[in-house]
């Protein structure tokens, strides 16, 4: 399985991702993470700009991070760091994604302790949160555009319907959807030979 380096098509375990780079990238994303649009930011930095990871590898991390306990953004950061550089990579991603928000929130706690309100601030943050959501939406749309065949669309649609619109509990839904979707991917691979 040992391949010469320089293969830029699929880089599941890219050696170019240095620990310091991982820390730097995730720190800037940790600071930008208002309102939960982080999967979008990570996709842009890790898949599109740096090509540290393949599209499929990234999306597997998104699914895994949502199914397991813990905040989705922290889970996805840990997964990316670990796939790139093992536990040290995961530690860098963890520090980067949580360190800056940890310090900012302590700063806000101090301001609160001194009796400052944050009413006007909240309005601006609402707008920033909407922009953050746009980031996630754009990532989903971009990925969806690349899907081939009817079955991935059926899976996307029914997952959204069940969890987004009908508000069914996520765990049982994905417990059904994931095996079904993997089965479809497998069947498709066999049909192509």
**SS3 state at 1:** coil
Q: In whole angstroms, what is the distance from residue 17 CA to residue 171 CA?
A: 33
- Provide the minimum distance between the beta carbon of 87 and another protein in the complex, in angstroms, as a whole number: 7
| Binding residue for another protein, selected from 69, 191, 192, 193, defined by CB under 8 A | 69
- Site map (CB under 8 A) of another protein, residues 25-44, x = contact: -----xxxxxxxx-xxx--x
Number of amino acids touching another protein (CB under 8 A): 106
Of residues 11, 16, 37, 8, the one with CA closest to residue 136: 37
| C-alpha dihedral, 22 to 25 to 27 to 28, nearest 10° | 180
- Residue 189 binds another protein (CB under 8 A): yes
What's the Cα-to-Cα distance from 78 to each of 61, 92, 103, 139, rounded to whole Å?
9, 9, 19, 20
Span 74-133, contacts to another protein by CB under 8 A:
74-75, 78-79, 82-83, 86-87, 90, 94, 97-98, 100-102, 104-106, 108-109, 112, 118-133
Span 2-21, contacts to another protein by CB under 8 A:
10, 12-13
């Amino acid at each position: 399985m040992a391949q010469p380096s320089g293969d830029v098509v699929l880089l599941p375990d890219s050696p170019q991702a240095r620990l310091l780079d991982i820390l730097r990238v995730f720190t800037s994303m940790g600071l930008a993470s208002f309102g939960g649009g982080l999967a979008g930011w990570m996709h842009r930095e890790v898949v599109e700009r740096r090509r540290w990871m393949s599209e499929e590898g990234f999306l597997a991390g998104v699914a895994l991070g949502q199914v397991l306990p813990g905040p989705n953004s922290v889970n996805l950061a840990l997964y990316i760091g670990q796939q790139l550089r093992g536990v040290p990579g995961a530690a860098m991603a963890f520090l980067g994604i949580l360190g800056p928000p940890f310090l900012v929130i302590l700063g806000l706690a101090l301001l609160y302790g001194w009796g400052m309100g944050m009413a006007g601030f909240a309005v601006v943050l609402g707008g920033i949160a909407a922009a953050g959501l746009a980031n996630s939406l754009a990532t989903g749309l971009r990925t969806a555009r690349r899907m081939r065949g009817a079955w991935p669309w059926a899976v996307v649609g029914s997952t959204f319907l069940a969890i987004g619109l009908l508000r069914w509990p996520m765990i049982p839904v994905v417990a059904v959807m994931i095996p079904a979707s993997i089965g479809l991917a497998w069947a498709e691979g066999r049909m192509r030979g």
